Amino acid sequence: MTRFSELGLAPELLDALRDVGYEAPSPIQEQAIPPLLEGLDVIGQAQTGSGKTAAFGLPMLQQVDHGEQEVQGLVLTPTRELCIQVTQALRAYGSRKGVDVVAVFGGAPIRSQQAQLRAGGQVVVGTVGRVRDLISRHSLLLHTCRFVVLDEADEMLDLGFLEDVERILALMPASRQTALFSATMPPPIRRLADQYLYHPVTVKVKAATLTVETVEQFALEVSPREKADALVRLLDAERPDQAIVFVRTKIRCEQLFRVLRDRGLNVKALHGDMTQGARDGVMISFKEGRLPLLVATDVAARGLDISGVSHVINFDVPTSPDGYVHRIGRTARVGRSGRAITLYERRQRREIEAIERHAGVKLAPWVKDAHVAPTPITAPPRRHSKPHVSADGEGPVRKLIVAGGRAAGLEPSDIIHAITVASGLDGEAVRNVRVLERFALVEVPEKDADRVVERVGASEGLRIESARR
């Protein structure tokens, strides 16, 4: 097994890795770190949870000259949640070297971020829009920047940020080193790489390493009245290091949080009705390990990719089989093991069976101290993946765009409900629902797409149209 010490990293970075408990590099780290340390441009195709932040962050930090206070490295992210996550990781990796990492993102006072940049900021992590804003105000100068990373580039494409990304890259020195990381490589991302990267080395983690391979999966039948009590008993028996408890709605999230808090548990809630400052505080506390238990809605937990999560508990059955796979993928990160337990009522047995068919697994009955063989769960098809087939495997699907996203308080369940109620489509045929900041993406069978667009707009008050890409 390769060790970090064999990759050419500086002693202070190796010490920092030991501080955070990293023992051996993941595949993306093992393949990407050496060429980046050599100064080569790199394209890394890897999903969240594969360890890519360390893959680009460690070489960037190694190249930072501690004696120079100008901006030397820039990481562009599509969302504020990812910006915060990357910033926390880089600060941990660069702690022994004393590198100053500044986060800049929308929704927070720009003046405080300007002050942080004036005080230092050798590495800047930022969302695309806020970085452009700070550049236009002459608060962020990139003429000394030697290293730039585009993190989750396909998310930037989905959010419509590529034009802004190109404007930012055009302002940077031609001699810079560039790394681009993306889970998929659709044509616009490939064209971006061809134009702005110089003879890049391509590093691609095989799909097999991107699956949830070490999750023990259970189901527990409960009555509606006893559900909260059953959860408390389950938590007492499992004693998780860190657990995310998923619920379907914001109201349910607040209710369950209060129940668990009143039972004396150290717990916080995470949902879309919270202020962004409150959400950021909860996310940071959870990521740093100070918070052991989190009750969250699917969308609110979207930016949480944390290696210490030992348990995922579905207090509410997910709205779709795809949602189940996404949820349990929050545990067993970067090669660690995990446990996933789904609570369900007798009337939801068919939903559990649909999950089992989709995920290719039989959920074992949960009892205290039960263990089963971990089952591989391949992540569901992501955007731009081929081939596109409908939920029943018969025919193509069409991608639709829904006006409104997280900023409007939309959740996947809201979109699925609107489509099924308005069009009569079965919920299992509504696939790959992805709620972004300003809009949402969803796939429905091609043969039903026109009906969905027409009826949802007319009866449910959502503006929805076909995606043209």
Could you tell me the CATH superfamily of domain 4-209? P-loop containing nucleotide triphosphate hydrolases (3.40.50.300)
At 394 the pLDDT is 46
What is the pTM for the complete model shown?
A: 0.56
Three-state secondary structure call for residue 245: strand
Q: CA quadruple 366, 371, 374, 375: dihedral positive or negative?
A: negative
> What are the residue ranges of CATH 3.30.70.330 in the chain?
397-466
How many beta carbons lie within 10 A of that of residue 68, not counting itself? 10
Q: Between the CA of residue 358 and those of 291, 351, 363, 378, what are the distances in Å?
A: 32, 11, 12, 10
Mean pLDDT of 111-117: 93
Q: Which of 256, 279, 281, 251 is nearest to 267 (CA)?
A: 256
pLDDT surpasses 70 at 389? no
Q: At residue 467, does pLDDT exceed 80?
A: no
pLDDT at 126 (0 to 100):
94
Record the tokens describing residue 447, joined without a space: 């043969």
C-alpha–C-alpha distance, residues 196 and 278, integer Å: 38
| Residues in the chain, overall count | 469
Label residue 125 by pLDDT band (50, 70, 90). very high
Looking at residue 433, its pLDDT comes to: 78
CATH assignment of 221-365, given 3.40.50.300, 3.30.1010.10, 3.40.630.30, 1.10.357.10? 3.40.50.300
Confidence of residue 1 (pLDDT cuts 50, 70, 90): low
pLDDT in tens, 37-80: 999 999 998 766 678 899 999 999 999 998 888 999 999 998 88
CATH topology for the 397-466 domain: Alpha-Beta Plaits (3.30.70)
pLDDT one-digit tens code per residue, 335-370: 567 899 999 998 888 888 888 887 778 899 998 887
Greatest mean pLDDT among 124-133, 246-255, 300-309, 385-394: 124-133
Write down the mean pLDDT value for the chain.
Answer: 83
**Range 201-211 average pLDDT:** 65
Given this model, what pLDDT does residue 199 score? 94
Residue 317: pLDDT above 70? yes
**For 304, phi and psi rounded to 5 degrees?**
-95, 105
Residue 211: the pLDDT is 41
**Residue 264 vs residues 163, 254, 260: alpha-carbon distances, Å:** 50, 16, 7
Domain limits, CATH 3.40.50.300, in the chain: 4-209, 221-365
Is pLDDT above 90 for 309? no
Q: What is the pLDDT of residue 426?
A: 67
Q: What's the confidence (pLDDT) of residue 301?
A: 63
Q: For residue 214, what is the DSSP state?
A: S
